Structure 1
Amino acid sequence: MLGLSKKDFIFLVVVFLLTISAPILLNPFPEGSAMAQFNAGYPDLMQRIAIYAIFAVGFNILFGLTGYLSFGHAAFLGVGSYSAMWMFKLLSMNIIPGILLSVAISGLFALLIGFISLRRSGIYFSILTLAFAQMSFNLAYSVLTPLTNGETGLQLTLQDPRIFDAANTTGSLPDTNLFGLAMNSTAKVEFMGRLFQFNIGYYVCGLISVLMFYIALRIFRSPFGMMLRAVKSNQQRLNYTGLNARPYTLAAFVISGMYAGLAGGLMASMDPLVGAERMQWTASGEVVLMTILGGAGTMLGPVLGAGFIKYFENIFSKINEGVLHSWFSALPHAIQDPLVWIVARFTGEGWHLTLGLLFMLVVIFLPGGLIEGGQRIGRLLSRRKRPGGDDPEHHPKPAPHVAE
């Protein structure tokens, strides 16, 4: 069904169900309780998780399948954001034209950068993409200020023409919308002490992310995906067979760039303010972390990595010393104060230290990322359930399923 095997179709349905039920699943703790600050079911965070999942899944098409590590994918994220913003300013606040333009422009930009960068491989390719991204950042920050508004950032104004929209008589900035449905529109439902927020913007991002997940799944299963895996396995041997791998890698680079552009367009759609910082090398490094942390070369890994990092960024960064003192209030001050001081180094503004340590542990002990950790736990549980234990000689380890 939908061109997928039965197993992949069930997997896609599970992803869809998890996406639409995320506002409920991510709010497990009652409002007002001590654990409520760990809830992640509020619109801004859920939107970011869905958007960065698209970004990471697209990056995984390039890095996970071909092995080409790009340090410049933030350039396409920024180009997509600026493209969408100009559509909001010139044509309409409907997000569809902005998203379409962001995908098209970022695809053309990726074609240009990929055509040059893919003349090299390995670390030289990575450095070239990083150089292009930094040039793009500097152009947006200081050179192309008529288009990007420099360090202030591109934003909406009341004087924007928006030729397809009706005249603005409210005196306030309009909201981005999907055929009249405002992206910031949220329905709040309180049930059994928990507050659930169902946001239009999140469901737009979530459903688009499921669609892009499906497209990526088809790519992974296609002959084109098999050719990309051959490039990653041994490109030199592939060339010896007479096949030119460059058109395949260029296509993967362009597709990956279009995914990034779509993510940038959705960012502008949810928050119509675009700055050059989206094109910095740190944004490119973030998507690399997401992909490796979740599991490069798998389908679900980049999504898990995106959710994991964005959760830490938004939840752990809010835990300050005041919160920690309330947690350890039962302890004597002689123990409480040093303990709070130590833990505070890993929370709040120091949450990056926690993320760095976790990333090191994953790389050292779980080279396959969080997906590998889940697979190990599953094998351990199945081995305990099996009465005779697991015999690796007579029961060899099965090949990993890409969608796991």
Structure 2
Amino acid sequence: MITATPRKDLLLMGIFTLAVLTMPIWLAPIGASYPDLLQRFAIFGIFAIGFNILFGLTGYLSFGHAAFLGVGSYTAVWSFKLLSMSVVPAIIFGVITSGLFAVVIGYISLRRSGIYFSILTLAFAQMSYNLAYSVLTPITNGETGLQLALDDPRSLDNLVGVAATQGIPPTNFFGMEMSGYPGFYFCAVLMIIGFYISMRIFRSPFGMMLKAVKSNSNRMSYTGLNMRPYTLTAFVISGMYAGLAGSLMAVTDPLAGAERMQWTASGEVVLMTILGGVGTLIGPVIGAGVIKYFENIFSAINENVLHGIFSFLPEFLQDGVVAVLSLFVGEGWHLTLGMLFMLIVIFLPGGMVEGFSRIYQRIRNRNNKNNGTADPVGSTHVQPGE
């Protein structure tokens, strides 16, 4: 059993905050410090944190969370078009709209559990995708996607006398443009806040009730407890996190398309959560970072780059090494990610956090052995990232 104390939670929060805010520094050696990628790390970290509140605490596996991602994006872009280029109303409306949409989908889907719940959420997501792609084209602009235009009214901006520009104005937070590193730090701060809220949910009586639902829902039903309000609340909170992530996607890149609602986007957040560690606090963020790194950096490695890396080898050996490794990078990055995912699922069912925890325990046990001490029988520790 893993125990947690306010002091250890505070330490974890401090380490997480410091790591997020210094990402441009410690990610530079691996080529992942440019703003666009850092923004994706933060945005999909928020998406995965929210998904983990549902999947990690209740065990309900949703394959339809991309619907809320898309709703948040569309709502934010419409806020930019109709109201203001300020990100504050866009985010507020995006989160609220996604939450309301989650109430409807969750109320229907949570009448079933297990695989039937997963299929229902997948069906809703695909219906949402098709509606956005072809039926609701006056709202979503169909396959072209919803974009800003010069003749957008932006009533709030005009009301407060925001000076018109020659082109489409950028999104802003009280005058600060949401591009480059300012855009990253805005997303990063929201991810830190989202992580803190997630931690409080995990440690709260509400979170304990959700864990009880996950461990034995039948026994909870036999006690006469109505679990649906708890699971529906978790579903709505998770959907609002997804709506926040979708809104931030529109903040950093003001457009919205139906592809954000496809089932592949829902599957991606499932992979992130499982890869990092389902039910852990830090795991989903790690999983999101790993997948986005593979998608944006690992996929850019081609044969020319490999030849440059292994230029110290004899030509015949260099060609052989490059021929083999080229299967796992560039267009073959999915193969590497798939192999990593299989290894994690087979040998580390608790995700990458479980691997870090095992390393931590081995180092701790070795130090105790060298110091002539041993952990008391039955003692418990907080594993890193729990």
Instruction: State the TM bucket, normalised to the shorter chain.
Output: over 0.9
1:201 and 2:201 aligned? no
Secondary structure, counterpart of 2:369 in structure 1: coil
- Could you list the per-position Cα deviations for residues 127-176 of structure 1 after superposition, in whole angstroms to 9, with x for gaps in the alignment? 11001001101111111111111111111110111111246643211100
Q: What residue in structure 2 maps to residue 12 of structure 1? A: 13
Deviation at 1:390, TM superposition (A): 8.7
Q: How does 1:244-283 map to 2 (within 5 A)?
A: 244-283=226-265
Q: Per the alignment, do residues 251 and 101 of structure 1 end up closer, same or farther by CA in structure 2, a change over 3 Å counting?
A: same
For 1:144, the aligned partner's letter is L
Q: What residue in structure 2 maps to residue 105 of structure 1? A: 97
**Whole-angstrom distance in 2 between the partners of 1:308 and 1:235:** 33
Tell me if the contact between 2:140 and 2:146 (Cα under 8 Å) persists in the aligned partners.
Answer: yes
Deviation at 1:7, TM superposition (A): 1.6
**Whole-angstrom distance in 1 between the partners of 2:382 and 2:230:** 24
1:50 and 2:42 aligned? yes
Deviation at 1:335, TM superposition (A): 2.3
For 1:228, the aligned partner's letter is L
Q: Per the alignment, do residues 268 and 374 of structure 1 end up closer, same or farther by CA in structure 2, a change over 3 Å counting?
A: same
Deviation at 1:328, TM superposition (A): 1.8
Secondary structure, counterpart of 1:105 in structure 2: helix
Tell me if the contact between 1:61 and 1:256 (Cα under 8 Å) persists in the aligned partners.
Answer: yes
Tell me if the contact between 1:298 and 1:402 (Cα under 8 Å) persists in the aligned partners.
Answer: no
Which of 140, 150, 158 is equivalent to 2:132? 140
Q: Per the alignment, do residues 347 and 390 of structure 1 end up closer, same or farther by CA in structure 2, a change over 3 Å counting?
A: farther
**Whole-angstrom distance in 2 between the partners of 1:400 and 1:27:** 30
**Whole-angstrom distance in 1 between the partners of 2:379 and 2:296:** 38
Q: What residue in structure 2 maps to residue 193 of structure 1? A: none
Secondary structure, counterpart of 2:297 in structure 1: helix
Secondary structure, counterpart of 2:192 in structure 1: helix
**Whole-angstrom distance in 2 between the partners of 1:16 and 1:149:** 39
Q: What residue in structure 2 maps to residue 224 of structure 1? A: 206
Deviation at 1:334, TM superposition (A): 2.4
Tell me if the contact between 2:353 and 2:385 (Cα under 8 Å) persists in the aligned partners.
Answer: no
Tell me if the contact between 1:294 and 1:371 (Cα under 8 Å) persists in the aligned partners.
Answer: yes
**Whole-angstrom distance in 2 between the partners of 1:167 and 1:294:** 44
Secondary structure, counterpart of 1:93 in structure 2: coil
Tell me if the contact between 1:58 and 1:257 (Cα under 8 Å) persists in the aligned partners.
Answer: yes
Tell me if the contact between 1:295 and 1:372 (Cα under 8 Å) persists in the aligned partners.
Answer: yes
Deviation at 1:344, TM superposition (A): 1.0
Tell me if the contact between 2:48 and 2:284 (Cα under 8 Å) persists in the aligned partners.
Answer: yes
Q: How does 1:66-85 map to 2 (within 5 A)?
A: 66-85=58-77
**Whole-angstrom distance in 1 between the partners of 2:311 and 2:82:** 56
Q: Which segments of 5 or more consecutive residues in structure 1 lack a partner in the other structure?
A: 29-37, 187-198
Q: What residue in structure 2 maps to residue 65 of structure 1? A: 57
RMSD over aligned Cα atoms: 1.7
Tell me if the contact between 1:70 and 1:130 (Cα under 8 Å) persists in the aligned partners.
Answer: yes
Q: How many residues align?
A: 378
Q: How does 1:139-158 map to 2 (within 5 A)?
A: 139-158=131-150
Deviation at 1:252, TM superposition (A): 0.3
For 2:73, the aligned partner's letter is S
**Whole-angstrom distance in 2 between the partners of 1:281 and 1:402:** 32
Which of 279, 292, 299 is equivalent to 2:281? 299
**Whole-angstrom distance in 1 between the partners of 2:315 and 2:379:** 53
**Whole-angstrom distance in 1 between the partners of 2:110 and 2:33:** 41
Q: How does 1:164-179 map to 2 (within 5 A)?
A: 164-165=156-157, 166=161, 169-179=164-174
For 2:92, the aligned partner's letter is L
Q: Which segments of 5 or more consecutive residues in structure 2 lack a partner in the other structure?
A: none
Secondary structure, counterpart of 1:206 in structure 2: helix
- Could you list the per-position Cα deviations for residues 186-206 of structure 1 after superposition, in whole angstroms to 9, with x for gaps in the alignment? 4xxxxxxxxxxxx11011000
**Whole-angstrom distance in 2 between the partners of 1:98 and 1:289:** 28
Q: Per the alignment, do residues 81 and 377 of structure 1 end up closer, same or farther by CA in structure 2, a change over 3 Å counting?
A: same
TM-score (norm 2): 0.94
Q: How does 1:336-351 map to 2 (within 5 A)?
A: 336-351=318-333
**Whole-angstrom distance in 1 between the partners of 2:368 and 2:344:** 28
For 1:116, the aligned partner's letter is I
Tell me if the contact between 1:24 and 1:41 (Cα under 8 Å) persists in the aligned partners.
Answer: yes
**Whole-angstrom distance in 2 between the partners of 1:27 and 1:399:** 33
Q: What residue in structure 1 maps to residue 82 of structure 2? A: 90
Q: What residue in structure 2 maps to residue 183 of structure 1? A: 178
Q: What residue in structure 2 maps to residue 316 of structure 1? A: 298
Deviation at 1:271, TM superposition (A): 0.4
**Whole-angstrom distance in 2 between the partners of 1:402 and 1:258:** 27
**Whole-angstrom distance in 2 between the partners of 1:101 and 1:358:** 38
Deviation at 1:9, TM superposition (A): 1.6
1:238 and 2:228 aligned? no
Secondary structure, counterpart of 2:123 in structure 1: helix
Q: Per the alignment, do residues 142 and 243 of structure 1 end up closer, same or farther by CA in structure 2, a change over 3 Å counting?
A: same
Which of 383, 387, 398 is equivalent to 2:365? 383
Which of 121, 130, 140 is equivalent to 2:122? 130
Deviation at 1:41, TM superposition (A): 1.0
Secondary structure, counterpart of 2:170 in structure 1: coil
TM-score (norm 1): 0.90
**Whole-angstrom distance in 2 between the partners of 1:391 and 1:118:** 47
Secondary structure, counterpart of 1:330 in structure 2: coil
For 1:286, the aligned partner's letter is E
1:121 and 2:97 aligned? no
